[in-house]
């Protein structure tokens, strides 16, 4: 292909994405940037060692410095933004100015809408931008769109996803596998759904249900934000019901709801003993550090259920992904399903297989092809019809 890719954020997901590009994109170069050069160096060398060639180059870049970022992107064909979700639109503006195509990991639908508003500018620059190309939002919506692509008609899509420790530790039975800011956003912001054909915003940490996972037994699922991304808006008129829930070990939702109900995630400053602080920032620090200290291998569960018609008959299809941390590469299940998914879309853009402009995730690439690409990477996907 001989294209130059850039990764912003040389953390867990960014490193997995760079590895995937090195393996499948036939790149000329992969530039890996982080605010801290030593971080970019460490993970560039890790990828180079795994693939057996010096394909990744480390850079120190402040992604919020437009001048610095523009210089970094000046010779880049596609950039993968693996930064905290709120930074993506700012990166997108610079990417368009430098005529660089872009994908990001998303995480907040309202933020992704800001990127999508840059459509005309992206078209004028001749580039493609696709937000929300991670796991959830991202891959989980490929399951929903697979039903739309392959069934005659679809009435209901129910999506589920969870990344969890293989050996859960009370009281939360949870391992932090991505930025704590994104976790709180999922638990605090409203979820976007389709209900009886209408867009509906629903509270998070609600609609608790029991769900059975073959490898784990009884689990729980509840509403969280961001997972559906823009799909409800795109599929309105085609699908009547479209929703997403997060999977956790039983009891997790109730414990997290205590923090939400008691105001621990508030953003209004409060004064405590003469010190002014935002409750959410304190929670980010204390709980983020506490969850991050729990070390364990992870597992990822992704499930999609589609109810509709096929060949004139009622049909209920189910797709399941159960992925574990890879002992050969050391990539966690979260890194594999998030980083690899992001890289697949970046490759699709680099091969000039997408339209120009800012594209909604579910419109940028056929989900049937996306799932086939994931299978090429050793991810087992079970289809039940």
Secondary structure letter of residue 266 according to DSSP:
-
| Domain identity same for 129 and 158 | no
Q: What confidence category does residue 308 fall into, taking pLDDT thresholds of 50, 70 and 90?
A: very high
Other CB atoms closer than 10 Å to residue 288's CB: what's the count? 16
Q: Are the C-beta atoms of residues 83 and 106 closer than 8 Å to each other? A: no
Tell me, what CATH number does 292's domain have?
3.30.360.10
Question: How high is the pLDDT of residue 182?
Answer: 78
Domain count, the chain: 2
Q: Residue 243: inside a domain, yes or no?
A: yes
Q: What confidence category does residue 161 fall into, taking pLDDT thresholds of 50, 70 and 90?
A: very high
Question: How high is the pLDDT of residue 371?
Answer: 98
DSSP per position, 195-223: ETTEEEEE-SS-S-EEEEETTTEEEEEEE
| Domain identity same for 84 and 200 | no
Instruction: Render pLDDT for 120-130 as a digit per residue (tens, 0 to 9).
Output: 999 999 999 99
| Domain identity same for 181 and 246 | yes
Q: Residue 385: inside a domain, yes or no?
A: no
Mean pLDDT computed over every residue of the chain: 94
pLDDT at 296 over 90: no
Q: What confidence category does residue 170 fall into, taking pLDDT thresholds of 50, 70 and 90?
A: confident
Domain boundary (295, 324, 353) is at 324
| Domain identity same for 147 and 280 | yes
Q: Residue 237: inside a domain, yes or no?
A: yes
Specify the pairing of strand 241-248 against strand 217-223.
Answer: antiparallel
Q: What confidence category does residue 181 fall into, taking pLDDT thresholds of 50, 70 and 90?
A: confident
Instruction: Render pLDDT for 148-158 as a digit per residue (tens, 0 to 9).
Output: 999 999 999 99
Question: Across residues 202-224, what is the average pLDDT?
Answer: 96
Question: How high is the pLDDT of residue 107?
Answer: 79
The DSSP bridge partners found for residue 199 are: 194
The DSSP bridge partners found for residue 310 are: 313
Q: Which of 190, 188, 202, 183 shows the shortest CA–CA distance to 241? A: 202
Question: How high is the pLDDT of residue 171?
Answer: 85
Instruction: Render pLDDT for 18-72 as a digit per residue (tens, 0 to 9).
Output: 999 999 999 999 999 999 999 999 999 999 999 999 999 999 999 999 999 999 9
| Domain identity same for 109 and 196 | no
Sign of CA dihedral 61, 62, 67, 73: positive
Q: Which of 366, 247, 357 shows the shortest CA–CA distance to 302? A: 247
Q: Residue 120: inside a domain, yes or no?
A: yes
| Domain identity same for 110 and 179 | no
| Domain identity same for 366 and 297 | no
| Domain identity same for 121 and 256 | no
Question: How high is the pLDDT of residue 289?
Answer: 83
| Domain identity same for 122 and 31 | yes
Question: Across residues 218-224, what is the average pLDDT?
Answer: 97
| Domain identity same for 318 and 369 | no
Q: Are the C-beta atoms of residues 190 and 232 closer than 8 Å to each other? A: no
Q: Which of 91, 92, 93, 88 shows the shortest CA–CA distance to 107? A: 88
Q: What confidence category does residue 295 fall into, taking pLDDT thresholds of 50, 70 and 90?
A: confident
Question: How high is the pLDDT of residue 95?
Answer: 98
Question: How high is the pLDDT of residue 279?
Answer: 92
Tell me the longest C-alpha to C-alpha distance in the chain. Answer: 69
H/E element, 369: helix 367-376
Q: Residue 90: inside a domain, yes or no?
A: yes
Q: Residue 47: inside a domain, yes or no?
A: yes
Question: How high is the pLDDT of residue 305?
Answer: 98
Q: What confidence category does residue 78 fall into, taking pLDDT thresholds of 50, 70 and 90?
A: very high
Question: How high is the pLDDT of residue 132?
Answer: 96
Tell me, what CATH number does 118's domain have?
3.40.50.720
Question: Across residues 227-255, what is the average pLDDT?
Answer: 96
CA angle 143, 342, 3 (to 5 degrees): 135
Question: How high is the pLDDT of residue 249?
Answer: 96
What percent of the chain is modeled with pLDDT above 90?
A: 86
Instruction: Residue 34: give the domain boundaries.
Output: 4-134+334-379
Half-sphere exposure of residue 211, counting CA atoms within 13 Å on the CB side?
Answer: 24
| Domain identity same for 338 and 320 | no
Q: Residue 384: inside a domain, yes or no?
A: no
| Domain identity same for 176 and 108 | no
Q: Residue 113: inside a domain, yes or no?
A: yes
Question: How high is the pLDDT of residue 218?
Answer: 97
Question: How high is the pLDDT of residue 180?
Answer: 81
Question: How high is the pLDDT of residue 342?
Answer: 97
Q: What confidence category does residue 294 fall into, taking pLDDT thresholds of 50, 70 and 90?
A: confident
């Amino acid at each position: 292909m001989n294209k130059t890719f850039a990764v912003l954020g040389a953390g867990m997901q960014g490193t997995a994405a760079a590895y995937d590009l090195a393996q499948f994109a036939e790149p000329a170069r992969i530039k890996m940037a982080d605010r801290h050069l030593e971080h970019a160096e460490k993970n560039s060398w890790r990828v180079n060692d795994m693939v057996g060639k010096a394909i990744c180059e480390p850079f120190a870049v402040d992604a919020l410095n437009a001048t610095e970022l523009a210089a970094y992107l000046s010779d880049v064909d596609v950039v993968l933004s693996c930064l905290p979700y709120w930074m993506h639109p700012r990166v997108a503006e610079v990417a368009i100015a430098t005529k660089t195509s872009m994908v990001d990991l998303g995480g907040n639908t309202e933020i992704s809408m800001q990127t999508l508003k840059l459509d005309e500018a992206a078209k004028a620059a001749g580039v493609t931008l696709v937000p929300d190309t991670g796991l959830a939002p991202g891959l989980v919506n490929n399951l929903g769109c697979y039903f739309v692509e392959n069934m005659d008609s679809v009435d209901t899509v129910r999506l589920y996803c969870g990344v969890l420790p293989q050996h859960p530790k009370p009281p939360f039975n949870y391992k932090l596998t991505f930025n704590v800011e994104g976790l709180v956003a999922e638990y605090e912001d409203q979820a976007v759904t389709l209900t009886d054909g209408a867009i509906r915003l629903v509270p998070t940490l609600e609609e608790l249900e029991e769900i059975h996972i073959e490898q784990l037994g009884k689990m729980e699922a509840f509403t969280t934000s961001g997972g559906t991304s823009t799909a409800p808006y795109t599929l309105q008129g085609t699908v009547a019901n479209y929703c997403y829930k997060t999977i956790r070990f039983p009891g997790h939702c109730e414990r997290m709801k205590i923090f939400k109900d008691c105001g621990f995630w508030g953003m209004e400053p409060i004064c405590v003993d003469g010190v002014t602080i935002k409750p959410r920032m304190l929670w980010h620090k204390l709980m983020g550090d506490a969850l991050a200290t729990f070390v364990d291998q992870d597992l990822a569960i992704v499930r999609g259920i589609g109810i509709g018609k096929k060949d004139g008959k009622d049909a209920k299809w189910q797709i399941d992904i159960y992925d574990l941390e890879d002992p050969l590469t050391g990539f966690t299940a979260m890194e594999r399903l998030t980083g690899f998914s992001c890289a697949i879309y970046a490759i699709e853009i680099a091969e000039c297989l997408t339209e120009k402009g800012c594209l909604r995730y579910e419109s940028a690439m056929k989900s049937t092809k996306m799932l086939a690409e994931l299978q090429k990477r050793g991810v087992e996907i079970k289809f039940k019809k």
